[in-house]
Amino acid sequence: MAQQQYAQDSATIKKIYDNALTSFESYENLRYLTKQIGARLSGSPQAAAAVEWSRQLMEKMDLDTVYLQEVMVPHWVRGEKEIGRVTNSRLLGNVDMHIVALGGSVGTGKQGLSAEVVEVKSFEELEKLGKKKVKGKIVFFNRPFDNTLIQTGSAYGGAVDQRGGGPVAAAKLGAVGVLVRSMTNDYQTIAHTGSTRYQDDVEKIPAAAISTVDAEQLSSLLKEDSELKFYMRMTSETLPDVLSYNVIGEIKGSEKPDEIVVVGGHLDSWDLGEGAHDDGTGCMQSVEVLRLFNELGIKPKRTVRAVLFMNEENGLRGGTKYAELAKARGEKHVAAIESDAGGFTPRGFGLDGSKEQLQAVLAWKPLLAPYGLHEIGPGYGGADIGPLKGQGSVALIGFKPDSQRYFDYHHTEIDTFEQVNRREMQLGAASIASLVYLLTEHGLDGGGAKASK
């Protein structure tokens, strides 16, 4: 019996990969999302277009239900192209540098701001400098990625505090602006945006990311001349919140319709580039899971729900709203899988749940390893599904594609459709669909109600 089940699971998974690898639909959907709609920052007309387009896309798919969840989202706009410039280098005179406003940043005013620069690698170093040396200056956070880490996400995790917390820490000491080294392993002249945070009781100062190549040059110039001045001009601003939506499609479970397996990505993106790897691929893979189930006639025992979350990048309002509503409705989630690490070759899954749940998923490894899914273990689920944590025994599962190239493109103008390889994206979709199939077929009952405590 167990052997028979194994053979059936194995055959179903093979069908899933075969279909995914020979289908072009999802890749063409991604092309539409990235090329016809493009960047889709929360609150933008393009985000609204993405909502309506993906709703229509799922409506055409003969699902059991397609619906929207209302959610109010922040509406930040970048404004005019930023200017970043060293203005008094003894060696070089004026030196233009590539900067982009961090998401949520206030602007500099149209006249821009000009100030001396103090470079730090850490918050401790900043604290030691103290108000005297920081007041009136631009603080330049220049701690690089640790390139010796094999998983680039770990290097990101070790540097991104500068982007999130830099402006508040600097403003507390009287700084007038912030430059943060771009969050990437690469040496590029491209600056990487991303969210920053303010506190209500601390002055909001303008904050920009600077490309790694420019960060290195600025650091060199500062070594020669500590009185170097930097001019930055950004017209970014935050407008009133806008009504937007999570977009949801589902196939009802044939035996346990009240038990839900979520698969999702986030529909919003930054305003630079096309939000291809972040997170067009995750969204299109989630829709692809539904297409594969339908196309292959797989009737899931439990409900499969694809959720395209709104506003992961600068607010997480969609993920938060989804969890709120799930709780209010008393929904039972078996698991939630998020694909938000790019459309690269699959390596495995990370699971945030109980030991028993991990054991249950590890028991499926022989079914998944032939497809290159070797890295199955404890890990991070994902931002959008994070707010579900603790609801019943839901297991949060992060899809882990190969991470090497992700931060070359992440949050930049080069996160475009051209950077996505169809086979890599589709292997990802098939990997996720296979895990969803196993979860809907077998559940995670080993887990128990205390799973995520």
The footprint of a second copy (CB under 8 A) covers 17-18, 21-22, 147-148, 150, 152, 185-186, 345, 347, 369-372, 374-375, 402, 404-405, 408, 421-424, 427
Shortest Cβ 345–a second copy spacing (Å): 5
The residue (of 196 and 281) whose beta carbon lies closer to a second copy is 281
The residue (of 388 and 432) whose beta carbon lies closer to a second copy is 432
Shortest Cβ 404–a second copy spacing (Å): 5
CA 127 to chain centre: 30
Shortest Cβ 179–a second copy spacing (Å): 24
Shortest Cβ 252–a second copy spacing (Å): 30
Q: Evaluate whether 267 touches 309 at the Cβ level (below 8 Å).
A: yes
Q: Evaluate whether 183 touches 194 at the Cβ level (below 8 Å).
A: yes
309: which 2 tokens?
């979350």
Pairing mode, strands 83-89 and 93-97 = antiparallel
DSSP-assigned states of every residue in 286-355: HHHHHHHHHHTT---SEEEEEEEES-TTTT-HHHHHHHHHHHHTT-EEEEEEE--S-SSPEEEEEEES-H
Shortest Cβ 150–a second copy spacing (Å): 6
444: which 2 tokens?
């995670």
Closest CA to 436 of 407, 397, 400: 397
Shortest Cβ 80–a second copy spacing (Å): 30
DSSP-assigned states of every residue in 60-79: TT--SEEEEEEEEEEEEE--
Shortest Cβ 344–a second copy spacing (Å): 9
The residue (of 76 and 156) whose beta carbon lies closer to a second copy is 156
Q: Could you tell me where the DSSP H helices lie in 60-151?
A: 123-134
User: Burial, 41: exposed, middle or buried (Cβ in 10 Å; 0-12, 13-18, 19+)?
Assistant: buried
The residue (of 243 and 369) whose beta carbon lies closer to a second copy is 369
Catalytic annotation present for 418:
no
The residue (of 89 and 152) whose beta carbon lies closer to a second copy is 152
Q: Could you tell me where the DSSP H helices lie in 329-419?
A: 355-362, 365-368, 406-409
Which of 119, 312, 331, 338 is labelled catalytic?
312
Instruction: Report CA-CA distances (Å) from 243 to 43, 240, 246, 353.
Output: 7, 10, 11, 33
The residue (of 196 and 212) whose beta carbon lies closer to a second copy is 212
Q: Evaluate whether 407 touches 157 at the Cβ level (below 8 Å).
A: no
The residue (of 384 and 402) whose beta carbon lies closer to a second copy is 402
Shortest Cβ 264–a second copy spacing (Å): 24
**Three-state secondary structure along 432-453?**
HHHHHHHHHHHCCHHHCCCCCC
439: which 2 tokens?
């979860």
- Whose tokens are 């790897």? That residue is 277
User: What is the sign, positive or negative, of the torsion defined by CA atoms of 294, 300, 303, 309?
Assistant: negative
The residue (of 82 and 408) whose beta carbon lies closer to a second copy is 408
Instruction: Report CA-CA distances (Å) from 112 to 30, 108, 186, 417.
Output: 38, 5, 29, 34
Q: CA 259 to CA 303: how far, in whole Å?
A: 6
Active-site residue set: 312
